[in-house]
Amino acid sequence: MERQVNQKGWLMVLPAILVVALNAVIPLMTVVNYSVQDSFGNNQFFWAGMSWFVELLHSERFHAALGRQFIFSAIILLIEIPLGIIIALAMPRKGWGVPVCLVLMALPLLIPWNVVGTIWQIFGRMDIGLLGHTLASLGINYNYTQEPIAAWLTVIIMDVWHWTSLVVLLCYAGLSSIPDVYYQAARIDGASRWAIFRYIQLPKLKRVLLIAVLLRFMDSFMIYTEPFVVTGGGPGNSTTFLSIDLVKMAIGQFDLGPAAAMSLIYFLIILLLCWIFYTVMSLEDDEPQGGVL
């Protein structure tokens, strides 16, 4: 029997299409228009062609911000993914500890970005902050307003504190979905703790880990509020990530043309990475799900 296609379904998605058109497509079109022009305000624009793109692609400032962004995302993934797995493995599977751990894990995720930034900005201060003052008392020069390494450490630890919980919760959900028969079979075979992790838990966590990597990479690649509140991109430009540089250019300097060109390149990088992650995830989904024991 031939499958019937109901075209009325399109009416149902029409509101969503309109919303996407209004809040995504039209602004994107405007950014493309701005990227080939120069403006001095008062809605007056002058044709600039591809010059902003050429200037940006040869700009050391852009290369440095992009490099910092990639390094930051790589560090975040290298810390948060293994740490999230370890914490999820250590969490209890039954009893009163489960809701307690889940609530504790969910707490950092409920705090708004700017509040997280403010918390860590105060926490790290050498005069009144618990962390900064304690480290200073121990003789460690931890001044994130003057030392680039201290600033990077603060931003990284802050992100780890804020977002590792997401990885933990995803991994915990993945671990909870593994049927008990796998563990029973492993016990009969006398498998070690490492063997259980390597051959049962890790393969079963593959999909949630891919989602975790995708979410954390995208989030960390677009990070703005937290480092802006803590360091403002400093000291110098040491924590000026791509998004901070973009806002400085667009709002601080009112260079709408170069900022629009930068936005488009930023958008293309994120689009490419999303597509790669999506393709990898789709390929994982297509693979036959055979038993591991």
With a CB cutoff of 8 Å and minimum separation 6, the contacts of 238 are: 68, 148, 151, 152, 231
Residues 6+ apart with CB under 8 A from 273: 217, 218, 221
Q: Which helix (H) or strand (E) holds 84?
A: helix 60-90
Task: Give the contact letters, 52-91, x = binds to another protein (CB under 8 A), - = no.
Answer: -xx--xx---------------------------------
Looking at the Cβ atoms of 4 and 192, the one nearer to another protein is 4
Classify burial at 117, counting beta carbons within 10 Å of its beta carbon; exposed 0-12, middle 13-18, buried 19 or more: buried
Binding status of residue 254 toward another protein by CB under 8 A:
no
Scanning 165-173, 197-205, 207-215, 281-289 for contacts with another protein by CB under 8 A, the matching segment is: 281-289
125: left (phi over 0), alpha (psi -120 to 50) or beta: beta
Number of C-beta neighbours around residue 60 at 10 A:
7
22 binds another protein (CB under 8 A): no
Write out the E strands in the chain: 37-39, 45-47
DSSP 39: E
- The smaller minimum CB distance to another protein, of residues 46 and 194, is found at 46
137 binds another protein, rule: CB under 8 A: no
Applying CB under 8 A, which part among 28-36, 66-74, 128-136, 163-171 lies near another protein?
A: 28-36
CB of 164 to another protein, least distance (A): 32
18 scored as a contact of another protein (CB under 8 A): no
Interface with another protein includes 277 (CB under 8 A)? no
- Contact call for residue 279 and another protein (CB under 8 A): yes
How big is the site for another protein, counted in residues (CB under 8 A)? 28
Check if the beta carbon of residue 217 is closer than 8 Å to that of residue 141: no
**Residue 45: DSSP 8-state:** E
> Which CB sits closer to another protein, 23 or 279?
279
Give the residues lining the site for another protein (CB under 8 A).
26, 29-30, 32-34, 36-37, 39, 43, 45, 47, 49-51, 53-54, 57-58, 265, 268, 271-272, 275, 279, 282-283, 286
